[in-house]
Structure 1
Amino acid sequence: MRTTINRVLLGLVGLVLLALGLAVLIGSTDLQRHWDFTLPSSWPFQGPKDVLLSTHDRTLYRSRDWWWPVVLGGLGVLFLGALWWLLAQARTRRLRQLRIDSGDGQGVLVRGRAVENVVAAECEAYEGVEWAGSALIRKHGTPEARLILGLAPHATPVEVVNGLDAEVLERARTSAGLDVLPAEARLRAVRHRARRVS
């Protein structure tokens, strides 16, 4: 969900910045005169000497007491929103390390990516799975596995999920010394191109 919202917001911000950049570029380089085309009357920059805000626009509300607090408050809210968004992108729930009890009281740290690679490889080796991806995340303080599985056309989803839970995920739980390892699997159908049989 977060990825979809991020992509939509980034796309919208990118389109606005692209449109503003093109408006400035066309006006500041005087392309309409060089390439002999006309711009709409509402175009913000008509030539290289145009400014973003005219003297009238800059001084229109300066005498009003509410103007500067509103402008500064709006810019502050915009800045804090952008900062929150940036920090949200950097924060990840993905497990970097997983502590495994080695039985000697000290424990061992295993890279989360190594466990993900092993789980994905074992999923791909399972009958009916053509490709797999896995991620370990921390949810409510405990590890959770997220699997994406590409199923072969002959595979039965229920059998594949039950088999992976009983074999692959059970081995991962035992190897990591975890009492439970909740998992979420997303299944995709693998489509093959039609081949001519002669």
Structure 2
Amino acid sequence: MSRGTVNRTILAVAGVLLLAGGLLVLAGGLDLYGRVGLSMPHRWPLLGADRPLFGGVARSRWEHRSWWWPVVIAVLAVLVVGALAWLVTQLRRRGPVSVELPSPAPATTLRVRGRAVEEAIETGAVALPGVERVAARLDHRPGRPVVRTAIRLTTDGGPAELLAGYRSGPLADARDSLGLAALDSELRLRVVAVRPTRARKRARVV
């Protein structure tokens, strides 16, 4: 599962939970259950505008414990710091949004999306023999872009053949498409490890 898919899944789950909580609060505050004649369970939260989410017994149940408030504060602090760190990670640019192409006219600026370059490299690399998974990222060094690609090989894939095919295939195509004389690239290879299986011999007794 890619990082983008994980992020979208987390956002979707968080959005559904926040939406459900907001609807519960709205329904209780507006006394919608009584207006539409719904009979909710006794333990259902926010049954009416005059009923709090947590009753007095629930609020004071653990207050006499010395560990209660430190634990509550620590948990809330971890949640806030984790949420802020995740938000900063999402907002931080992971690479150039676009790459400027050589323009045939002085007053014309041509640009291509960085993600389009990444997708083209991933599509070309995953078609090479012995490749199972590819993840490409376009970064920007001072004055020139650089492609960082991680490739996962199957047990049939050869690193030497893959490197030659990657240089002459996806990397060369990206370089030519961008109109660059050279395109820096960093390639990480990972080979799928296969656990050795023990041969089991069965003796047949006649």
TM-score under structure 2 length normalisation: 0.55
Aligned partner of 1:178 among 172, 175, 182: 182
> How big is the shift at 1:164?
6.8
Q: What amino acid sits opposite 2:76 in the alignment?
A: L
Identity of aligned residues (%): 29
CA deviations 1:50-108 (Å, max 9, x no partner) are 112222222211111101110000000000110111011012322257699xxxxxxxx
8 A contact 2:138–2:147 mirrored in 1: yes
> How big is the shift at 1:27?
1.2
For the pair 1:75 / 2:72, whether they are aligned, the reply is: no
Q: List alignment gaps of at least 5 residues for structure 1.
A: 101-110, 124-134, 147-160, 184-198
Question: Residues 144 and 56 (structure 1 numbering): CA distance in 2 closer, same or farther, change over 3 Å?
Answer: same
> How big is the shift at 1:49?
0.5
Q: List alignment gaps of at least 5 residues for structure 2.
A: 102-108, 121-135, 150-165, 188-206
CA deviations 1:133-176 (Å, max 9, x no partner) are xx961299961289xxxxxxxxxxxxxx9997487434246x33
Partner of 1:114: 111
Q: What amino acid sits opposite 2:18 in the alignment?
A: L
Aligned residues: 143
Mapped to 2, the partners of 1:171 and 1:48 lie a distance apart of: 66
Mapped to 1, the partners of 2:113 and 2:30 lie a distance apart of: 52
DSSP 3-state at the match of 2:147: strand
Mapped to 1, the partners of 2:92 and 2:80 lie a distance apart of: 18
For the pair 1:17 / 2:21, whether they are aligned, the reply is: no
DSSP 3-state at the match of 1:114: strand
CA deviations 1:8-33 (Å, max 9, x no partner) are 11111111111111111111111111
DSSP 3-state at the match of 2:73: helix
Q: What amino acid sits opposite 2:71 in the alignment?
A: V
8 A contact 2:100–2:111 mirrored in 1: no
8 A contact 1:116–1:136 mirrored in 2: no
Mapped to 2, the partners of 1:81 and 1:182 lie a distance apart of: 31
CA RMSD of aligned residues (A): 3.8
